[in-house]
Amino acid sequence: MSDTLSKIEKRTAYILILPAVFIVFSIILFPIFANVWISFKEVGLKDIRIPEPRAKKIVKSIKDNPDQLKIIYKLRNSSLILEIRDVKFQDKLPKNIKPINLDERCSVKSNKIYCKFGNWEAKYRENFQILLQSSDGKQINKKELKNIKPKLTGKSDNILLNTNFTLKNFKKVFFQNEFFDLLSTTFYYTFFGTIGSIVFGILTAQLVNQKFFGRTFMRSVLLFPYVGPVVALAYTWELLLDPYSGTLNNLLMNFQVIQEPLNLLGQKYLTINFFGFDLKLRLALTTVIIFEIWRYFPLAFLFILARLQAVPKELYEAAEVDGAGPLQKFINITLPQITAVISILFMIRFIWNFNKFEDIFLLTGGASGTRTLPINVYEQGFTISDIGMGSAVSIVIVALLLIFMFVYFKLIGKRADEN
Amino acid sequence: MKTKSLIYYSLISSIFLFSLVSIWKILVTLQGIELKNFNFAIIITLGIAISLLNILIGDKLNYIIKSTFFALIFTFIDGYIVQLMPIWYNIGIFGILIFFSLKINKYNQKYLATEHSSQIVVFDFLTLFGIVLFSFVILFPFYMMLITSFKTQAALLINPLDFSINFNQDFKELFKSYFVIFDTYKFGRYILISTFVSVGTVIVTLIFAIPAAYAVARLNFFGKNFLSTSILIIYMFPAIVLVIPLYTVFSQLGLRNSVGGLLIVYTATTLPVAIYMLQGYFRSIPKELEEAAIMDKLNWFGIIIKIILPLSIPAISSVALYVFMIAWNEFLFSLMFLDNPNSFTLSRAIQYLSGDAETPRQYLMAGSVVVTIPVLLIFVYFEKYLVSGLTAGSVKG
Q: What is the arithmetic mean of pLDDT over B103-112?
A: 79
Contact B11, B48 (CB under 8 A): yes
State the pTM of this model. 0.86
* CB contact (8 A) between residue B208 and residue A221: no
Task: Let me know whether A210 and A111 are in one domain.
Answer: no
Residues in chain A within 8 Å Cβ distance of B376: 224, 227-228
pLDDT at B115 over 80: no
Interface residue of B244, B323, B331, B352 to substitute, partner A, most A CBs within 10 Å:
B244
Whether A416 is in a domain gets the answer: no
Distance CA A15, CA B97 (A): 68
ipTM: 0.90
Domain count, chain A: 2
User: Whose CA is closest to A406, among B235, B233, B234?
Assistant: B233
Domain contains A161: no
Residues A96 and A208 in one domain: no
User: Chain B interface, mutation test: which of A231, A239, A362, most B Cβ atoms within 10 Å?
Assistant: A231
Q: What CATH number has the domain bearing residue B245?
A: 1.10.3720.10
CA separation for the pair B393, A353 (Å, rounded): 15
Instruction: Report CA A371 to chain centroid distance, whole Å.
Output: 15
Decide: helix, strand or coil at residue A107.
strand
* Nearest Cα to Cα of residue A301 among B358, B130, B17: B130
Average of per-residue pLDDT across B5-11: 86
Asked if residues B390 and B319 have their Cβ atoms less than 8 Å apart, the reply is no
Q: Does residue B359 fall inside a structural domain?
A: yes
Q: Categorize the per-residue pLDDT at B394 as very low, low, confident or very high, splitting at 50, 70 and 90.
A: low
Which pLDDT score is estimated for B396? 33
DSSP letter at B362 equals: H
Q: Do B362 and B267 sit in the same domain of this protein?
A: yes
Report residue B158's pLDDT band, with 50, 70 and 90 as the boundaries: confident
| Residue B267 confidence (pLDDT) above 60 | yes
Cα separation of A363 and A358, whole Å? Answer: 8
Q: For residues A120 and A203, state if they share a domain.
A: no
- As a whole number of angstroms, the distance between CA A82 and CA A94 comes to 35
The CATH number assigned to the domain holding A83 equals 2.60.40.1170
Give me the pLDDT at residue B331, please. Answer: 92
B265 and B326 fall within a common domain: yes
Answer yes or no: do A191 and A325 share one domain. Answer: yes
Please count the other Cβ atoms lying within 10 Å of the Cβ belonging to residue B167. 8
Longest CA–CA span in chain A (Å) reads: 116
**Shared domain check, B246 and B139:** no
Residue A358: give its domain's CATH number. Answer: 1.10.3720.10
pLDDT recorded at residue A11? 83
CA distance A299 to A293: 10
Q: What is the pLDDT of residue B205?
A: 94
Of B295, B350, B382, B385, the C-alpha closest to B149 is B350
Alpha-carbon span B266 to B209, nearest angstrom = 13
Nearest to B134 among A15, A204, A233 (CB): A204
Residue B175, C-beta contacts closer than 8 angstroms, at least 6 positions apart: B150
Measured from the Cβ of residue A240, the count of other Cβ atoms closer than 10 Å reads 18
Flag residues of chain A having pLDDT under 70: 1-3, 5, 137-140, 413-419
Which position has the higher pLDDT, A1 or B242?
B242
Interface of A with B in 301-360 (CB under 8 A): 302-303, 306, 323-327, 344-345, 348, 351-352, 355, 357-358
Helix or strand or coil: residue A98? strand
B12 part of a folded domain: yes
- Tell me, yes or no, whether B90 and B239 share the same domain: no
For residue A22, tell me if it sits in a domain: no
Q: What span, in angstroms and rounded, lies between the C-alpha atoms of A178 and A173?
A: 8
What does the pLDDT read at residue B289?
A: 78
A-chain CB neighbours of B328 within 8 Å are 229
Same domain? For A127 and A208 the reply is no
Residues of chain A neighbouring B106 (CB-CB closer than 8 A) = none
Instruction: Report which of residues A211 and B390 the model is more confident about.
Output: A211
Give the closest residue to B276 by CA, choosing from B391, B353, B382, B186. Answer: B391
- For residue B145, the chain A residue with the least C-alpha distance is A236
Q: Are residues A259 and A363 in the same domain?
A: yes
Greater pLDDT, B261 or B387: B261
* Total beta-carbon pairs less than 8 A apart between chain A and chain B: 285
Q: How far is B262 from chain A (nearest CA, A)?
A: 11
Residue B43 belongs to domain spanning: 3-148
- Cβ-defined contact of B236 to A345 (cutoff 8 Å): no
User: Does A282 reside within a domain?
Assistant: yes
In-domain check, residue B160 = no
**The residue type at A38:** I
What is the number of other CB atoms lying within 10 angstroms of the CB of residue B135? Answer: 16
Residue A26 included in any domain = no
pLDDT tens profile A383-404:
888 888 899 999 999 999 888 8
Flag whether B66 is in a domain.
Answer: yes
Q: Are the C-beta atoms of A46 and B240 separated by less than 8 Å?
A: no
Average pLDDT taken over every residue of chain B: 85
B199 and B128 fall within a common domain:
no
Phi first, then psi: give them for residue B175, nearest 5 degrees.
-95, 25
Rounded alpha-carbon distances, angstroms, from residue B372 to A199, A286, A347, B368: 27, 26, 29, 6
Mean pLDDT of B246-256: 84
Q: If residue A109 lies in a helix (H) or strand (E), which one and from where to where?
A: strand A106-109
Annotate A3-20 with b (16+ C-beta within 10 A) or e (fewer): eeeeeebeebbeebbeeb
Per-residue pLDDT at A137? 67
Question: Do B135 and B193 share a domain, yes or no?
Answer: no
Distance of alpha carbon A309 from alpha carbon A209, whole angstroms: 7
A137 CA to chain B: closest CA distance, Å? 45
Query: What is residue A127's three-state secondary structure?
Result: strand
In a domain, A19, yes or no: no
Contacts of A402 (CB under 8 A, 6+ apart): none
- Provide the shortest C-alpha distance from residue B346 to chain A (in Å): 9
Residue B158 lies in a domain: no
**Closest residue to A231, CB basis, from B264, B350, B376:** B350
Q: Is the CB of A241 inside 8 Å of chain B's CB atoms? A: no
* Helix/strand/coil for A262: coil
pLDDT the model gives residue A413: 66
- Of A40, A38, A49, nearest to A156 (Cα)? A49
| pLDDT at residue B397, as a whole number | 30
Residue A39 within a domain = no
Is the CB of residue A363 less than 8 Å from the CB of residue B141? no
Domain extent, residue A234, equals 177-385
Query: Does residue B287 register a pLDDT over 70?
Result: yes
Number of Cβ atoms within 10 Å of the Cβ of A108: 12
User: Closest approach of chain B CAs to the CA of A369, in angstroms?
Assistant: 20
| Residue A17, domain member (yes or no) | no
Domain final residue pick, B148, B165, B194: B148
Contacts of B309 by beta carbon, 8 Å cutoff, 6+ apart = B210, B316
Q: Biggest alpha carbon distance in chain B?
A: 86
Per-residue confidence (pLDDT) for residue A198, from 0 to 100: 94
* Inter-chain CB proximity A13 and B220 less than 8 Å: yes
> Which residue, among B188, B178, B391, has the nearest Cα to B280 in the 3D structure?
B391
Selection from A47-51, B14-18, B220-224 with the highest mean pLDDT: B14-18
Question: Binning pLDDT at 50, 70 and 90, where does residue B90 land?
Answer: confident
Number of domains in chain B: 2
Give dist(CA B203, CA B194) in Å, integer.
Answer: 14
Do A243 and A321 share a structural domain?
A: yes
- Quick one: pLDDT at residue A419? 43
For B219-258, where are the alpha helices, taking DSSP H only? 224-236, 239-253
CA distance A149 to B209: 44
Q: What pLDDT is recorded for position A3?
A: 66
Alpha-carbon gap, residue B337 to B259, rounded angstroms: 9
Predicted local confidence at residue A297, as pLDDT = 92
User: Is residue B384 one of the residues assigned to a domain?
Assistant: yes
Residue A110, Ramachandran bin (φ over 0: left; ψ between -120 and 50: alpha; else beta):
left
Angstrom distance (rounded) from CA A227 to CA A52: 45
Task: Write down which residue in B104, B129, B148 finishes a domain.
Answer: B148
Within a 13 Å sphere around the CA of B393, how many CA atoms are in the beta-carbon half? 24
The nearest CA of chain B is from the CA of A2 a distance in Å of 13
- From the list A31, A239, A84, the residue with the least C-alpha distance to B367 is A239
Q: Which residues pair with A130 in a beta bridge?
A: A71
Q: Which residue has the higher pLDDT, A56 or B167?
A: A56
DSSP codes, A6-54: HHHHHHHHHHHHHHHHHHHIIIIIHHHHHHHHHHTS--BGGGGSPP-EE
Residue B171 domain-assigned?
no
Percent of chain B whose predicted confidence (pLDDT) is above 70: 97
